[in-house]
Amino acid sequence: KTGALAGFSAKIAAIMADVPEEKIRDLERFAELIAVAFQIQDDVLNLIGDEAKYGKEIGGDITEGKRTLMVIHALRNLPANESKRLLEILNKRTADKALIREAITLMKKAGSIEYAKEVSKQLAEEALRILRKCLPENDDRRKLEALADFLITREY
């Protein structure tokens, strides 16, 4: 839903700015990809970010039982007993710090956090390829490139 909303917003903005039809879809796709990359980065920060910089409680997604990319990856890559344990913790929707740490440890063990970082990076790189194909080298494009870079490398 994050990608669709961003894509639609970019599409409407492009239409309102009289952008040529052939570039509208590219700008829409750029926004979709960068928004998904941002969301994945946000999910990563929710597990391993610096709480003071991030501004939210670390592990909140675990407390809410969210099935993020990292959770899905971990469930597919952990041994059955550890996948079951991760699901138990998520289904409790607990704020217990020890259980949150246990869930994060399981996701780290599965390589899920590094996997999510790599997926976010690949999505951002694809978004930038589209942007560079679509827009000429100018201040506007450089600003969008800087925004894309910030969104996926941010620590907060």
Rounded CA Rg of the chain: 18
Helix, coil or strand: residue 37: helix
Q: Kindly report the CATH number assigned to the domain that includes residue 129.
A: 1.10.600.10
Per-residue pLDDT of the chain (156 residues; tens, 9 = 90+): 789 999 999 999 999 999 999 899 999 999 999 999 999 999 999 999 988 888 888 999 999 999 999 999 999 999 999 999 999 999 999 999 999 999 999 999 999 999 999 999 999 999 999 999 999 999 999 999 999 899 888 877
Q: How far apart are CA 61 and CA 46, in angstroms?
A: 7
The answer for residues whose C-beta is within 8 angstroms of residue 127's C-beta and 6 or more apart is 29, 30, 33, 34, 37, 148
∠ at Cα 119 (113, 124), nearest 5°? 130
Listed in sequence order, the residues at least 6 apart from 151 whose beta carbon sits closer than 8 Å to its beta carbon are 34, 37, 38, 41, 124
Structural domain tally of the chain? Answer: 1
Q: Is the pTM value of this prediction over 0.85? A: yes
∠ CA 119-109-78, nearest 5°, is 85
- The residue written with tokens 């970010």 in the block is 49
Domain that residue 121 falls in: 2-153
